[in-house]
């Protein structure tokens, strides 16, 4: 496994660990909540850097990130059959996220909240999360993929 994308994966994980993201959760956060927020971060990452020039690198990052997720699921203790089902579910969730935010910049605030509500059903303050991801998206758009891969990024 090519570990040159470990920094990118870890950076997305660190964004996901932001405790403020979980303040409006109706319960104690769990792996599924963290994974959902990780996948949203990753979806915005891909949205910002998707172009023909970055196609190969983004595919490698995609493969690396999902391999890391699979390893995390194995560490939790799921069996092989459960892992295959879980990974299929997570990949489908991720692709639906990517689809929903594809035209993000053209959506109204109300439409964005509706999109987020699909994935963040257990979160009460979707407005806060929307503001957070708007800032995250804006910060990504100000950097090139190459600078993001090679620099220390502070959102």
pLDDT in tens, 76-124: 887 778 888 888 999 999 999 999 999 999 999 999 999 999 999 888 8
Three-class secondary structure assignment of the chain:
CCHHHHHHHHHHHHHHCCHHHHCCECCCCCHHHHHHHHHHHHHHHHHHHCCCCCHHHHHHHHHHHHHHHHHHHHHHCCCHHHHHHHHHHHHHHHHHHHHHHCCHHHCCHHHHHHHHHHHCCCECCHHHHHHHHHHHHHHHHCCCHHHHHHCCCCC
How far is residue 40's CA from residue 1's CA, in Å, rounded to a whole number? 24
Is pLDDT at 155 greater than 50 in this prediction? no
Dihedral of CA 21/27/31/36: which sign?
negative
Q: Which of 100, 40, 82, 48 is nearest to 65 (CA)?
A: 40
Instruction: Give residue 2's pLDDT.
Output: 60
Q: Is the pLDDT of residue 154 over 80?
A: no
Q: How far apart are CA 149 and CA 103, in angstroms?
A: 24
pLDDT over 90 (residue 58): yes
Residue 56 has pLDDT above 80, yes or no: yes
Q: What separation, in Å, do the N-terminal and C-terminal C-alpha atoms of the chain show? A: 28
Angle at 56 (CA atoms; ends 152, 134), nearest 5 degrees: 50
pLDDT at 151: 59
Cβ atoms of 11 and 154 within 8 Å: the answer is no
Model's pTM, two decimal places?
0.91
User: pLDDT at residue 153 above 50?
Assistant: no
Predicted local confidence at residue 86, as pLDDT:
85
């Amino acid at each position: 496994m090519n570990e040159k994308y470990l920094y990118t994966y870890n950076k997305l994980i660190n964004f996901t660990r932001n405790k403020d993201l979980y303040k409006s959760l109706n319960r104690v956060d769990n792996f599924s909540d963290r994974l959902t927020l990780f996948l949203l971060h990753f979806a915005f990452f891909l949205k910002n850097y998707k172009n023909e020039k970055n196609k190969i690198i983004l595919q490698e990052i995609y493969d690396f990130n999902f391999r890391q997720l699979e390893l995390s699921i194995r560490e939790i203790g799921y069996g092989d059959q459960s892992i295959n089902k879980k990974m299929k579910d997570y990949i489908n969730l991720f692709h639906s996220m990517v689809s929903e935010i594809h035209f993000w910049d053209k959506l109204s605030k109300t439409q964005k909240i509706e999109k987020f509500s699909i994935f963040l059903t257990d979160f009460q303050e979707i407005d806060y999360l929307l503001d957070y991801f708007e800032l995250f998206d804006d910060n990504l758009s100000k950097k090139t993929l190459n600078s993001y891969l090679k620099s220390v990024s502070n959102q």
